[in-house]
Chain A
Amino acid sequence: MSTSIGTDVNTMKWLIKREFWEHKGGFFWAPVVVAIVMAVFLAVAIAGTAYVGSQGVVTYNVESIDGGVAQPKTVKVLTPEKIKEVGEQLSVQIAHAYMGISAPLLAVFYLAVVFFCLGALYDERKNRSILFWKSLPISDAATVVSKVVTAIVLAPVLTFCVATILALVVVVVACTTSMLMGFNMFSEVLGAASFYFAPLQIAALLPVYVLWALPSVGLLLMIGALAPSKPFLWAVGTPLVTGVFLAMTNSIFQFGWNLSWYWRDIVGRGFLSVMPGSWFAMNPLDSHFSPTANVVDMAPLFSQSWQQLATANLWIGVVVGSAMIYAAIRVRRWKDEG
């Protein structure tokens, strides 16, 4: 049945294209605009710091006051030796961790994906366009799967591309500035192997991310498919009310439950797993690694992420997430909008 598979692939291509048309704003323009603002801000900050540093500090030599006229005297703080020392340190840090510059884009990404998932099966019911989509030969399964793929493959790939470009732009600005100050960071940075591996190691996290994010995407899609109105309130309200209820029951009856599992494994996995790297916080492995340490080394970030595949936490999430995606497909198939 190669023709049937060919048709399915073709339909999926168009479904994803259609999601991109509709959500270009959140998945493409939002990170691009934030990246441009960040690039401008960082460029000004880098150039400004360098400029102030290179100008040295103006001091007034009190002893040289002669006839009431003070003679200003400039003291250079940044000696060539100092510049070289700072430059070498910076080069190492940049070569290893420059991708971290783009970390704020993850916040934009998280919000875009959460709102996309909540609206994906809600908005089409609200504006009745579901009747148009359902008038075409596209199964509910293909439709829902295309939304999953958009959320956890297309959107992260787009953000990754923007993030890489932003990081490179900032690296170029920093290195150019250093060159103007007499120290060539380009050769140091471009000579480091980690400079080239960093983006590849992040890109290679995509499969881990897809599996890790499934329960969140499934839950958010299902809320959107079921909510009679205001899916965002359902998404925020339900876990909060449940959590407060559990906490109150716990304290009234003195059950002595430890509710942290509820917040981490239910609420966290259900609503925060679409945040890339959230596995470090929600499913920490034995060896100590913190991505917020001063110098981020990409190699352990890569290997420790892949080690998630050996944890039950990840695979339980995959099973639960897939079940919720299946539920969302059934709901879309049969929910009567009157």
Chain B
Amino acid sequence: MVDTNLTDFIIDAKNLTKRYGKSVAVDNISFQIPAGRIVGLIGPNGSGKTTTLKAMLGLVPFEGELKVLGLDPRTQRDELMKQVSFIADVAVLPRWIRVREAIDFVAGVHPKFDRAKAERYIQNTKLKPAMKVKEMSKGMIVQLHLALVMAIDAKLLVLDEPTLGLDILYRKQFYQNLLEDYFDENKTIIVTTHQVEEIEHILSDLMFIREGKITLSASMDEIAERFIEVMVSADNLAAALALKPIDERQVFGKSVMLFDTATSNSSADAVKALGEARAPGIADLFVATMRGTYA
């Protein structure tokens, strides 16, 4: 990146490092996220994604440089939290609180909370105003938390596994709402989830993280250009293997190969000529790039 004013980016990390004793959770990473993006932060458990999010939210100290909305989360957290909203983990709502109290409280302390919006979300659920969190199912707790957070007009929203424990109907509904009711060009969303397939259609950018390092950071358009999945017909098999696919799997007796045109010194055209080509799914891409993580 060319030298730009720091505030042009919602997040600007330079040599961000976080150590826990001797182990390095986040290893000297640098990245920038401009406004108006929906970024998927994808990585296996223990890869450092939650630590990275915590550093952004001023929840843990770290080394290196990190600006969020132009502010240092270590020293300017109170200022930062007026503009940032997050769901850091599932089921963190206090168990004693009632739906009505939670709404009253957030409405009372958050200048950017839209009470009517939160109440509208809640009307579409089975939640009742007098209900306490401890009486709710896991799914209902998440529904309440999401209703509260979606009604906050924040510049940056960080979602760490937001839909864990929700059934598929509500998950679809949630991402739909996020896109239609919440997101606009002035907002930025960073989301992590294990259910990658469910968010790939809403993402604008993708970041893979592995062992504390970013292994891939690109926009979805760049990814569609760079990675190509081809269903290779049997007679092209040898030619395809020569182009060094990064992944290969069998579907109905045919080979589906994944090519990274940036590293396999093969042009996109050469790859596409091998057979039926299409953009790969994030899940397949993830599996291919993370290969060996658990070995």
Contacts and interface: CB of A to CB of B under 8 A. Distances in A.
Interface of A: 7, 10-11, 13-15, 17-18, 21-22, 124, 127-132, 134-139, 333-334, 336
A128 B129 CA distance: 23
A333 B149 CA distance: 22
Given A14-B108, A132-B94, 12 more contacts: A7-B111, A11-B109, A14-B105, A124-B94, A129-B95, A131-B88, A132-B145, A135-B57, A135-B87, A136-B109, A139-B77, A139-B78
A136 B94 contact: no
A170 B82 CA distance: 52
B280 to A, nearest CB: 34
B23 to A, nearest CB: 13
* B95, B105, B145 — most chain A CB neighbours (10 Å): B105
B12 to A, nearest CB: 22
B97 interface: yes
B92 interface: yes
Nearest to B94: A129
5 closest A-B pairs by beta carbon, nearest first, are A14-B108, A129-B94, A131-B88, A137-B81, A139-B78
Contacts of B104: 14
Contacts of A336: 54, 59-60
B101 interface: yes
A334 B108 contact: no
Majority-rule SS of A interface residues: helix
Contact of A14 (B61, B92, B109): B109
Contact of A21 (B57, B85, B101): B101
Interface string B118-162: 000000000000000000000000000100010000000000000
Interface string B100-121: 0100111011110000000000
* B59, B60, B109 — most chain A CB neighbours (10 Å): B109
5 contacts: A22-B96, A136-B110, A137-B82, A333-B77, A336-B60
* B89, B96, B104 — most chain A CB neighbours (10 Å): B96
B61 A22 contact: no
Contacts of B78: 137, 139
Given A127-B95, A129-B93, A336-B60, A135 B86 contact: yes
Contacts of B54: 336
Given A21-B101, A127-B95, A137 B88 contact: no
A136 B106 CA distance: 8
Contacts of B108: 10-11, 13-14, 17
Nearest to B50: A338
A145 to B, nearest CB: 13
Contacts of B92: 127-132
B252 to A, nearest CB: 45
Contacts of A134: 57, 59, 81, 88
Nearest to B91: A128
B165 to A, nearest CB: 14
A18 B61 contact: no
Nearest to B61: A334
Contacts of A131: 59, 88-89, 92
B85 A135 contact: yes
A10 B109 CA distance: 7
A18 B60 CA distance: 26
Nearest to A138: B109
Contacts of B81: 134-138
Contacts of A14: 104-105, 108-109
A135 B81 CA distance: 7
A143 to B, nearest CB: 11
A60 to B, nearest CB: 64
A10 B111 CA distance: 11
A330 to B, nearest CB: 12
Given A135-B81, A135-B85, A137-B109, A21 B96 contact: yes
B170 to A, nearest CB: 20
Contacts of B59: 131, 134, 336
Nearest to A12: B109
Contacts of B85: 135
Contacts of A139: 77-78
Nearest to A14: B108
A21 B93 CA distance: 14
Contacts of B86: 135
A40 B144 CA distance: 43
B117 to A, nearest CB: 16
B270 to A, nearest CB: 48
Nearest to B97: A21
A186 B61 CA distance: 67
Nearest to A11: B109
